[in-house]
Amino acid sequence: MFTGIIEEMGQVVSFECLEASSRLTIQAKTVMEDLTTGASVNVNGACMTALVLNTSRFSCDLSPETLSLTNLGILKTGDQVNLERAMRMGDRLSGHMVSGHIEGVGMIVDKKSLDNALIISIEASASVLKYCVSKGSITLDGVSMTINQLQEKRLTISVIPHTAEMTTLGFKDVGDVLNLESDLIGRYVERLLEGAEISSPYFQK
């Protein structure tokens, strides 16, 4: 599990295409302090298994599923990515509960400045938006954000200067795609209600 509070931006060192998958190597500093082989690390919102190479870089293997659902497949050498290590029991939950299981991507369709904030609108699929609520949480490329406005096919967020400086959201532009993960709690509630409808004699179709 993660919190959506980015620890640092890493830099893509290499992207190696294999037969049906790929291997991504990232240079980092902060997340390398106690990262071990086999540990989970959040890369642009996707939970990946770290393969530690040395004290300044790690690799992770991207499965066909990951390549099809995320923006990791379009990364190239020199690109920056948001990084977060798995949360520890007892840590403060400054963002929200993030699983690192990406549901799909959304495209930035509008970006403008308002006072000290960046107002960004993202077009997303109905399968993601159905779990979103105004003033609720969503993860964008691994960053825990509050939804300012929710429309039929898009959501809008407000990025403060600190977030813009510490994450890739600060330099993303119209046309860029972001990894999306809706609030985990909403999906669990839906599943529990589905189970109740199936098993309870009080629910009839």
Please list, residue by residue across 31-51, b when 16 or more beta carbons sit within 10 angstroms of its beta carbon and e when fewer do: bbeebeeebbbbbbbbbbebe
* Concatenated DSSP letters of 175-193: T-EEEEEE-HHHHHHHHHH
On whether the pTM is more than 0.85, the answer is: yes
The dihedral of CA 183, 188, 194, 196: what is its sign? negative
Please determine, for residue 203, whether its predicted confidence score (pLDDT) is greater than 70: no
Tokens of 143: 């960053």
Q: Kindly state the average pLDDT of the residues 166-177.
A: 97
User: What is the pLDDT confidence band of residue 197, given thresholds at 50, 70 and 90?
Assistant: low
C-alpha 132/C-alpha 138 separation (Å) is: 7
Predicted confidence (pLDDT) per residue in 49-90, tens digit: 999 889 999 999 999 999 999 999 999 999 999 999 998 877
Predicted confidence (pLDDT) per residue in 142-167, tens digit: 999 999 999 999 999 999 999 999 99
Question: What is the total residue count of the chain?
Answer: 205
What pLDDT is stored for residue 186 in this prediction? 78
Q: What are phi and psi of 120, to 5 degrees?
A: -120, 130
Top-level class of domain 8-85: mainly beta
Percent of the chain that is helix, strand, coil (3-state, to 5): 20, 40, 40
Q: Kindly state the average pLDDT of the residues 119-130.
A: 96
* ∠ Cα 69 99 119 (to 5°): 70
Q: Kindly state the average pLDDT of the residues 14-42.
A: 92
The domain spans of the chain are 8-85, 104-189
What pLDDT is stored for residue 18 in this prediction? 79
Please determine, for residue 172, whether its predicted confidence score (pLDDT) is greater than 90: yes
Q: Kindly state the average pLDDT of the residues 85-114.
A: 90
Q: Which residues contact 19 (CB under 8 A, 6 or more apart)?
A: none
Fold match between 8-85 and 104-189?
A: yes
> What average pLDDT does the chain have?
91
User: Quick one: CATH architecture of 104-189?
Assistant: Beta Barrel (2.40)
